[in-house]
Amino acid sequence: MSTYLVEGGSPLDGSVEIHGAKNSVLPILAAALLAPGECVIHNCPRLSDVEASLAILRHLGCAARREGEAVVVDASSPTRYDVPDELMREMRSSVIFLGAVLGRMGRASLCAPGGCELGPRPIDLHLAAIRGLGGRITETENGLLCAGRLRGADLVLSLPSVGATENAMLAAVCADGGTSSSSGARGRGIVDLQSFLCALGARVRGAGSSVITIEGGVPLHGASHTVMGDRIVACTYLTAAAAAGGHVEVTGVDWRTLSTVTAVLTEAGCAVRSQPGRIELTCRSPLRGVRPIRTAPYPGFPTDAQAPLMAALCRGSGCTVFVENMFESRYRHVDELCRMGADIRVEGRVAVVYGVPRLHGARVRAFDLRGGAALVVAALGAEGQTQVEGLHHIDRGYQCLEGDLSALGAQISREAGKL
């Protein structure tokens, strides 16, 4: 297993172009299965989750290849409707293929998805949406078998689930008749997915609001699309600058999609300038505690930014209360941060961070994607060397974290795993 070695104490300085959004490109790759033609998806990040999605598409009988910053998918003649267990278990968003495979092939066979262990990750809302569209779902000993001709429906999801909303959109595009999906999920990945589906010729409206309408049965064709910048990766680099001190500019992301995070960083004592396409953060003094941070569905404070922000606030003064409302167990980075000298107390969904004057290097382990990124953020502001293990989690969502941070002046390197 490879490891990061981070020498803390170097302020960051420079500009970084943010790569395409993981949580946009994954449903977009599943959607490419719907169109009998070639799709070119630009600004496609080099992530292990993207490779897993391409492997699923190839298994289903599509051609899929990388061409520089883009991937090209040709779903003219898919031949299979089963997603292999080992690919399903690679990531959470493999479940998004349920709607796409069922919509294109008329049936789908898959097991429960994998992904970050953030507490229970049920798929009941995904299945409710598929059943609401007429899909028949049979639970088999190793997963689910879905079949049925899909027909439009008025769907109401009991929770603002991003993934279930995306699954409903993909299936509804192939259903007979119109569908309305009311879920309250307004995430940016949903907006990007709608934009791609419309490029394919689908008639989808309302993404970004609480009700999305889909006109099913419209013939689809191949298309080109450019994936939006990853707001969580941008948040990660801004919190890194807050933790290490210095001046960092991120480009290629819509500043409005992370305004809840930049507002907190400003309250903590950073100087933030947001303009179309770029955000600058300067931090010349230790951070101070801020008002309670409660994670919520978009446009609320993003749960994916909770861990990196917590890591930055560990070193400084004052106290910050976090309330993690989206997932039951999204504090696995806390014990690791405490190994570095952080003072954090967790009670259920509440974490209280007491700022300390300094953190020190330690040997720590990533247990999930954003928690792993948080350990790197903390290490940048710590004294001495930190070893971060479990990089396979980080590689799922960051194209080249060590390369980008090194370019900003961080002392970070990736050591190959010892056999």
- Which residue among 116, 146, 174, 283 is the active-site one? 116
Residue of the chain from 162, 223, 353, 401 that contacts ligand EPZ (CB under 6 A): 162
CB of 123 to ligand EPZ, least distance (A): 5
Q: Which residues, at least 6 apart from 141, have a Cβ–Cβ distance to it below 8 Å?
A: none
Residue 86 CB neighbour total at 10 angstroms: 11
Inter-residue contact 176 to 151 (CB < 8 Å):
yes
- The reply on whether position 163 binds ligand EPZ by CB under 6 A is yes
- The reply on whether position 210 binds ligand EPZ by CB under 6 A is no
SS3 state of residue 288 = strand
User: CA distances (Å), 278 to each of 46, 225, 299, in order?
Assistant: 22, 21, 19
d(CA 278, CA 102): 40
Least Cα distance to 194 among 205, 185, 184, 186 occurs for 205
Residue of the chain from 332, 370, 393, 414 that contacts ligand EPZ (CB under 6 A): 370
- The reply on whether position 327 binds ligand EPZ by CB under 6 A is yes
- The reply on whether position 324 binds ligand EPZ by CB under 6 A is no
CB of 265 to ligand EPZ, least distance (A): 19
- The reply on whether position 369 binds ligand EPZ by CB under 6 A is yes
CB of 357 to ligand EPZ, least distance (A): 30
- The reply on whether position 414 binds ligand EPZ by CB under 6 A is no
- The reply on whether position 372 binds ligand EPZ by CB under 6 A is no
Site for ligand EPZ in 165-194 (CB under 6 A): 189
Is 116 annotated in the active site? yes
CB of 184 to ligand EPZ, least distance (A): 10
CB of 46 to ligand EPZ, least distance (A): 16
CB of 349 to ligand EPZ, least distance (A): 11
CB-nearer residue toward ligand EPZ: 16 or 168: 168
d(CA 151, CA 284): 58
Instruction: State phi, psi for 406 to the nearest 5 degrees.
Output: -60, -40
Owner of token pair 């630009």: 42
Q: How many residues bind ligand EPZ (CB under 6 A)?
A: 26
d(CA 4, CA 388): 5
Give the 3-state secondary structure of 141-210: CCEEEEECCCECCEEECCCCCHHHHHHHHHHHHCCECEEEEECCCCCHHHHHHHHHHHHCCCEEECECEC
| Choices 7-15, 22-30, 82-90, 279-287 (CB under 6 A): range interacting with ligand EPZ | 22-30
- Helices (H) and strands (E) in the chain — how many of each? 14, 25
CB-nearer residue toward ligand EPZ: 394 or 412: 394
Q: So which residues are the catalytic ones?
A: 116
Note the residues at the interface with ligand EPZ (CB under 6 A): 22-23, 26, 92-93, 116, 120-126, 159, 161-164, 189, 303-304, 326-327, 369-370, 397
